[in-house]
Amino acid sequence: MDDQQARAAIAGLRRGDPDAWRQLYDALAERLWREVARRLGPRPADVADVVQETMLAAAKSARNYD
């Protein structure tokens, strides 16, 4: 995701556009999963929980992102 795509996704998240959320998730989820797995170890259920909570927190705070 380049800077222009990121700005468009953030603008969409502020408007509550579900396509923007999917775009952001698709762009970040794999890297986030790898980073969490590197820190927690190979426990898929734990990694999935952390990734899910992180993405939910990002979605909830997106309207306030500056």
What would the DSSP string read from start to end of 13-65? HHHT-HHHHHHHHHHHHHHHHHHHHHHH-S-HHHHHHHHHHHHHHHHHHGGG-
Mean pLDDT confidence for 18-36:
90
- pLDDT tier at 37 (50, 70, 90 boundaries)? very high
Query: Which position has the token pair 């989820």?
Result: 29
Query: Which position has the token pair 């992180």?
Result: 54
65 contacts: CB under 8 Å, gap ≥ 6: 10, 13, 14
Q: What is this structure's pTM?
A: 0.74
